[in-house]
Amino acid sequence: MSYTVETAARTAPAAVIVAIDGPSGTGKSSTSKAVAAKLGLSYLDTGAQYRAITWWMLSNGIDVTDPVAVADAAGKPVIVSGTDPSAPTITVDGVDASGPIRTQEVTAKVSAVSAVPEVRTLITDLQRTIAKGAASGIVVEGRDIGTTVLPDADLKIFLTASPEARAARRSGELKGADVSATREALLKRDAADSSRKTSPLAKADDAVEVDTSDLTLDQVIECVVTLVEGKRAAK
């Protein structure tokens, strides 16, 4: 049997764009990275980009409670996201921001910054460019991917979980943080993200909802992998 480039093209898995949305604490990031790694796809954490621009604003003395000041400064930082799921990176003006963007200060301010329309427009354009350039396909996770950023994604998944399950997971990630306080913080973030006028957190009409409350991470990953493989096979 002769093996040609044409044969290889026919046997290679179809490129797919997968949008995974949902609130914090549903296992979104861990699931997205694992699925992308397992299936040979690129990976993009869109939340990290909003955290990155928030960190830049705070570091440069921008009043993040002033939407006009945030809008005026939004185009200044250069944000670059690495899409290798085994080692995702993010830099701001060439500086590694992967650690600084996870501080409590950034967490407390990111909803306000990300609600500014000019910020969302800039970051959304960046996300679409990255997704378009992923030759083998990509898993993009966030809060408005299936509804706003990539409405034509091949597969849309919305992860959800009970507030209690989400708080327990996030408290574990934060090494012993108070579960009750964490739950309240998550609900406050949900309210802010769901009520903002520009690209609110919402489930797309054609998204597959997966409740992760009573599932292990491995079970969630297996579920999503099965969904992606089904979509690949149908292309």
Rounded percentage of the chain residues whose pLDDT exceeds 70: 93
| Residue-level pLDDT at 188 | 81
27: region left, alpha or beta (phi > 0 left; psi from -120 to 50 alpha): left
| Residue-level pLDDT at 68 | 98
First vs last C-alpha separation in the chain: 26
Q: What are the tens digits of pLDDT across the range 122-136?
A: 999 999 999 999 999
Region 166-183 average pLDDT? 73
| Residue-level pLDDT at 3 | 42
Question: What is the pTM for the complete model shown?
Answer: 0.86
Region 155-162 average pLDDT? 95
